[in-house]
Amino acid sequence: MDSERDLTRIQPGDIVLLSGRDRREFLVVMQPGAQFQTHRGYINHDAIIGSLWGSVVKTHLDYAYMLLPPSLEQLIRGVQRTTQIVYPKDIGYLIMKMNIGPGSRVVEAGTGSGGLTLALARMVRPEGHIYTYESRLEMLEVARRNVTRLGLEPYVTFTQRDIAAGFDQHDADAVFLDVREPWDYLPQVHAALKGGGFFGALVPTTNQVTELLEGLAHNAFGFVQVDELLLRSYKAVPARLRPMDRMVAHTGYLIFARALLMEETEVP
């Protein structure tokens, strides 16, 4: 149990963020006897295991890396990917908007590389569960590896299926779709949600937003909202604080709604 471990020190199985002076970062799972290799030299995992979080270790070429616990945002950016993942800036917002937390039962479709899946799994622990659907087997296996690497597989059920066939779950707290034509699956979504349950979707273009809004209006959904998030970072230098030259601007439109009971569809 965590209470029996020294949480100030790195343990076997921990994911460590190695950050060098050049700001290059590496995520490494600690395995006794293994070796981390980089163009700056190699480090034996055994030289890291037992070290204090925040301490520094050097490669055999005398290059220093700081040993840091990674943030969830860094873990998501570091997943193996073959498709575009949902950006962390959107993930944090949709988790709040859809009231996802410990104990939530969440259905996700369009697993992709599993970036959103692992964030949701972290949020619903220890009593909640994520049910994720993906039609492409190769993508589902990539997502499974990413989720397993973080020790979150017990909280996720992976299903390979075209969601036109519907979901196995009913009375779910939330359903999120990251698919090309989410309006085609609104009856299946409604059947999976409990009354008042949260629906969310991400689409990249305005014509898709329009199609989805029309679909929601005809499928017993209400309290619809459309949002777009823009993220601008700043150069953190006291003498010349200014915006970065690039920003994370348009990544997609987030659409939210609530599932209405059929007899209550006149509620706006």
Left, alpha or beta for 152 (phi > 0: left; psi -120 to 50: alpha)? Answer: alpha
Reading the block at residue 140, the tokens are 């589902």
User: 13, 38, 68 — which closes off a domain?
Assistant: 68
Claim to verify: residue 58 and residue 113 sit in the same structural domain: no
Give the bridge partners for 41, in sequence order.
38
Alpha-carbon 213 to chain mean position: 25
**In CATH, what number is assigned to the domain containing residue 244?**
3.40.50.150
Q: Which two tokens stand for residue 42?
A: 């190699």
Last residue of a domain, one of 52, 68, 84: 68
The answer to whether residues 171 and 130 belong to one domain is: yes
Domain termination site, one of 53, 68, 83: 68
Which structural domain range is residue 182 located in? Answer: 74-264
- Write out the chain's pLDDT in tens, 268 residues: 455 678 899 999 999 999 999 889 999 999 999 999 999 999 999 999 999 999 999 999 999 999 999 999 999 888 877 677 798 999 999 999 999 999 999 999 999 999 999 999 999 999 999 999 999 999 999 999 999 988 999 999 999 999 999 999 999 999 999 999 999 999 999 999 999 999 999 999 999 999 999 999 999 999 999 999 999 999 999 999 999 999 888 999 999 999 998 755 555 5
Q: Are 65 and 131 a contacting pair, CB within 8 Å?
A: no
* Bond prior to 182 in cis (omega within 30° of 0): no
Task: Return the SS3 of 255.
Answer: strand
Tokens 């929601």 sit on residue: 216
In this structure, the answer to whether residues 146 and 227 fall within a common structural domain is yes
Within this chain, do residues 52 and 17 fall inside the same structural domain, yes or no?
A: yes
Gyration radius (Cα) of the chain, Å: 21
Do 38 and 163 lie in one domain? The reply is no
What is the value of pTM for the model shown?
0.87
- Judge contact between 57 and 49, C-beta under 8 A: no
Given this model, what pLDDT does residue 1 score?
Answer: 46
Number of domains composing the chain: 2
Assess whether 38 and 90 both reside in one domain. no
The reply to whether 42 and 160 lie within a common domain is no
**Buried-state track 248-262, b at ≥16 Cβ within 10 A, e below 16:** eeebbbbbbbbbbee
Q: Both 33 and 92 in a single domain?
A: no
Integer Cα distance of 78 and 224 in angstroms: 33
Shared-domain flag, residues 220 and 250: yes
Where does residue 50 fall: left (phi above 0), alpha (psi -120 to 50 degrees), or beta otherwise?
left
Residue 225 has a pLDDT of 98
pLDDT at 6: 85
Note if the bond before 126 is cis, omega within 30 degrees: yes
Whether 78 and 6 map to the same domain: the answer is: no
Q: Are 149 and 119 part of one and the same domain?
A: yes
